[in-house]
Structure 1
Amino acid sequence: MLLRNAHPAIHPENQELVRAIRQQIQSEQHVLEDRQRFYTDMSCPVCLQQATFPIETNCGHLFCGSCIIAYWRCGPWGGAIHCPICRQTVTLFLPLFNEEQEDAVQVLQAVNDYNRRFSGQPRSIMERIMDLPTLLRHAFREMFSVGGLFWMFRIRIFLCLMGALLYLASPLDFLPEALFGILGFLDDFFVVFLLLIYISIMYREVVTQRLNR
């Protein structure tokens, strides 16, 4: 786990909106003291406090659930937000907490609403590549954890991995290494790349369906 000694820099285009959100959050007096704390070595770049009800975006940045939802609702309504840190379009919220308190239920309802609106938006190949590290990390972590992904999804990932391994081990490649040398590995790389993209797409659907249930 990376340790952050400084707060992530807010993108200049978002500084005014983030400043307004900070003032709004600081003025609220109904925040509970016994809220769950996660990622104690990390802080929310909006409220500058330890992340509570943490949510990770598809671009891999962590925020308090209430902060990123307030950022969404205070911004231009009707479209997906851009990450306050990297300006990448946020199409998926990944909650990192359990539904245990009333505040958590409200945050999860807002997360469900956001994901239902924007998780199915068309995405370019470059955006899918940028989402790969975060989505694959969550997918494989849940795959090998108790009570994580349901078994049908795990079986699909296993079958995809087996198919890719069989292709990599097979001498019948589109570009045989014996004839094309190092260029012969391009088709192997392409197969693995497509596999990772497919797994990330499946996991995105699983997250959205899980919250809807």
Structure 2
Amino acid sequence: MTYFPRRSSIIEGVGDEVVYAFGAFLGIFIPLTIFVVTNRNSRITQNQRIHPESAENVRSTREEVQRTHPNRRQASMQNTGEITCPICLGNAEYGIETNCGHTFCGTCITTYWQHGTWLGAVRCPVCRQQVTLLLINFTEAENDVDSPDRQHIIERINDYNRRFSGEPRPLIDYLRDLPTLLRHAFTEFFTVGGLIWMFRLRIIVCFFAAFMYFISPLDIIPEAVFGVLGFMDDLFILLLLAIYISIIYRQYVQNRPTNAPQN
């Protein structure tokens, strides 16, 4: 009788399929995390030009902002390295980021909404995507000062989010929103006073469930049969996880009280 030596596993006591699944999980999750975190830095350097279809509304908003805020600082011709608001052309004060990833002054974007003749959620002045969520993007100095302007902007932003963040959207909009929403959710998750523990727990449970699927020997598309194509179901599960986390964060922002800590 011929005996074949037993092949040793990569890690003693742990099946190779578990090791491969864990490696696939890290190989997918880590690049996604790096992309989400670094997306902001690459986006800031991009020129936020007003879309031609928004030009008239933006011009009207500029006049309204100048009329109601005559002392508002205007942009200089020098590049200060800060984010420029496409509406007033000045450095963004009390910055507000849309779900599509464009940043405006809090006063400018709320004036753009309230001064215009909109039947529902506005469209982004830059890319014309429907703005269903406005995200606080204040600087540390602006967060430390409890001014009436800051409180007024937060109230208007919360009012907008409660009205329009729950509107139905096509799947492509969920995918477009992922970089911005995941970045904000990631930042608040590790910030003291950010996401409350209930929402943090939901996110942790989602990651744990996805991880258990990755290390499970049961696959929708088994790698042992389909090879590299067998990881397609893992990618699909990770995409669903990202979309669900963005939905959780959207619900949190929608219901955030006015006096809650802002990030």
Q: TM-score, normalised by structure 1?
A: 0.90
Match of 2:57 in 1: 17
1:181 partnered with 2:222: no
177, 186, 194: which one pairs with 1:131?
A: 177
Counterpart Cα distance in 2 of 1:204 and 1:29: 31
The one-letter code sitting in structure 2 at the alignment partner of 1:159 is: V
> 1:82-93, aligned counterparts within 5 Å?
82-93=123-134
47, 66, 70: which one pairs with 2:111?
A: 70
Q: Is the 8 A contact 1:59 1:131 kept in 2?
A: yes
How far residue 158 of structure 1 moved from its aligned partner, in angstroms, is 1.2
102, 116, 132: which one pairs with 1:61?
A: 102
For structure 1, which runs of at least 5 residues remain unmatched after alignment? 34-38
> 1:91-110, aligned counterparts within 5 Å?
91-97=132-138, 98=143, 100-110=146-156
Match of 1:200 in 2: 246
Distance change >3 Å, CA 181–CA 7, structure 1 → 2 = closer
Match of 2:236 in 1: 190
Counterpart Cα distance in 2 of 1:14 and 1:103: 26
Moved more, 155-164 or 93-102: 93-102
74, 77, 92: which one pairs with 1:51?
A: 92
Look up the SS of the partner of 1:210 in the other structure: coil
- For residues 18-67 of structure 1, the C-alpha deviation after alignment (integer angstroms, 9 at most, x for no partner) is 1222223234455478xxxxx96211000010111110000010000110
208, 213, 217: which one pairs with 1:171?
A: 217
Look up the SS of the partner of 1:42 in the other structure: coil
Match of 2:21 in 1: none
Distance change >3 Å, CA 81–CA 157, structure 1 → 2 = same
Distance change >3 Å, CA 126–CA 3, structure 1 → 2 = closer
Match of 1:80 in 2: 121
How far residue 5 of structure 1 moved from its aligned partner, in angstroms, is 6.0
Counterpart Cα distance in 1 of 2:49 and 2:128: 11
Counterpart Cα distance in 2 of 1:32 and 1:46: 13
The one-letter code sitting in structure 1 at the alignment partner of 2:236 is: F
- For residues 75-105 of structure 1, the C-alpha deviation after alignment (integer angstroms, 9 at most, x for no partner) is 2233110001111000011112347111111
The percent of aligned pairs where both chains have the same amino acid is 51
Match of 1:36 in 2: none
The one-letter code sitting in structure 1 at the alignment partner of 2:118 is: W
- For residues 7-27 of structure 1, the C-alpha deviation after alignment (integer angstroms, 9 at most, x for no partner) is 411100001111222223234
When the two chains are superposed, the root-mean-square deviation of aligned CA atoms in Å is 2.1
Q: Is the 8 A contact 1:7 1:48 kept in 2?
A: no
Distance change >3 Å, CA 6–CA 120, structure 1 → 2 = closer
Q: Is the 8 A contact 2:57 2:116 kept in 1?
A: yes
Q: Is the 8 A contact 1:3 1:41 kept in 2?
A: no
- For residues 102-161 of structure 1, the C-alpha deviation after alignment (integer angstroms, 9 at most, x for no partner) is 111111111111111100101111111111110000001111112211112112111111
Q: Is the 8 A contact 2:88 2:108 kept in 1?
A: yes
Distance change >3 Å, CA 61–CA 135, structure 1 → 2 = same
Counterpart Cα distance in 1 of 2:174 and 2:44: 26
Q: TM-score, normalised by structure 2?
A: 0.73
120, 131, 143: which one pairs with 2:189?
A: 143
Counterpart Cα distance in 1 of 2:132 and 2:44: 25
Q: Which structure would you say has the larger RCO, counting Cα contacts within 8 Å and 6 or more residues apart?
A: 2
Distance change >3 Å, CA 163–CA 47, structure 1 → 2 = same
